[in-house]
Amino acid sequence: MSGDVHTLSGAYALGAVDDVERAAFERHLAECEPCRVEVAELRETATRLADDTDLPVPSPGLRERTLAQVARTPQLRNPPTTGSVKPERRRWRGWAAAAAAVVVAASGASAVTWSVSSDRLGQEQAAGEQARQVSEVLAAADARVYNQPLRAGGAATVVVSRERDQGVVLLRDLPQPEAGRTYQLWLLRDAVPRSVGLLNTGATGTTMVIGPVSAAATFGVSSEPSGGSPAPTRIVGTVELG
């Protein structure tokens, strides 16, 4: 093959070839190991472009139709090329793996609680109202996401919309607080702390709407005596916002 053929890997990974070229390039792939590796990586990369799309909620009907069609569709039985070999686990290094871990941690063993700062929302507002607030912050055009492990363990994700003057905090997998203590959340500006929330006794995670965020430069989590403190006494982690 000419040197030129290898350079089709990008267009191929993007699906930007016609059927004839695809077939020709796949023949080339069968005999070119460097291209196989490159295509696998570039295809994985191209797939990430799919992440930059809105995530629509599929209609319930679509799920039903798909499952029903699957129930009456026979599967292709392939000659077992790899026999009973267990599929090799692949690890996608770096950020992608971290992102997956976020989801697993959020839905995994540690119970995640959803809380809101009730002075801003009123005691009796429906759950839908908080969900709306959270999704509005997440959907804000200027929303920035800060994601960081905390010194004491666990991790914090803070989504900030300066335009809305609000943020959403997700905390997960914090260490179990000592007896009589609880976690308190802060926004700091010029080293001046302002309390923006308090976790329930015993809680090790939360999703919370915070605000106003105004010019806050740092988000912090501290461990405090139950009931909270006027200023943080034992900071367990911070996230720089900006």
Restricted to residues 105-134, the positions that interact with another protein (CB under 8 A) are 105-119, 123, 127-128, 130-131, 134
User: Residue 189 touches which of Zn ion, another protein, none (CB < 5 to 8 A by kind)?
Assistant: none
Rounded to whole angstroms, how far apart are CA atoms 18 and 179? 65
Is residue 90 a contact residue for another protein (CB under 8 A)?
yes
Rounded to whole angstroms, how far apart are CA atoms 8 and 18? 12
CA angle (205, 190, 174) in 5-degree steps: 15
Rounded to whole angstroms, how far apart are CA atoms 172 and 152? 12
Is residue 99 a contact residue for another protein (CB under 8 A)?
yes
Tokens representing 174 are 């914090």
User: Residue 35 touches which of Zn ion, another protein, none (CB < 5 to 8 A by kind)?
Assistant: Zn ion
Is residue 227 a contact residue for another protein (CB under 8 A)?
yes
User: Residue 151 touches which of Zn ion, another protein, none (CB < 5 to 8 A by kind)?
Assistant: none
136-to-113, 159, 161, 236 alpha-carbon distances in Å: 19, 11, 9, 29
Please list every residue from 36 through 75 that binds another protein, using CB under 8 A.
Answer: 36-37, 40-59, 62-63, 65-67, 69-71, 73-75
Segment interacting with another protein, rule: CB under 8 A, options 99-107, 173-181, 215-223, 233-241: 99-107
Rounded to whole angstroms, how far apart are CA atoms 102 and 106? 6
Is residue 135 within 8 A of residue 214, CB to CB? The reply is no
Q: Residue 119's Cα: distance from chain center in Å?
A: 28
Please list every residue from 144 through 203 that binds another protein, using CB under 8 A.
Answer: 144-145, 147, 157, 159, 168, 170, 184, 195-200, 203
Rounded to whole angstroms, how far apart are CA atoms 17 and 5? 13
User: Residue 27 touches which of another protein, Zn ion, none (CB < 5 to 8 A by kind)?
Assistant: none
Tokens representing 155 are 């991790």
Residues that bind Zn ion (CB under 5 A): 6, 32, 35
Build a one-symbol-per-residue string for 10-29: x at contacts with another protein by CB under 8 A, - elsewhere. xx-xxxxxx-----------
User: Residue 176 touches which of Zn ion, another protein, none (CB < 5 to 8 A by kind)?
Assistant: none
User: Residue 180 touches which of Zn ion, another protein, none (CB < 5 to 8 A by kind)?
Assistant: none
Rounded to whole angstroms, how far apart are CA atoms 211 and 224? 20
Closer to Zn ion at the Cβ: 7 or 214?
7
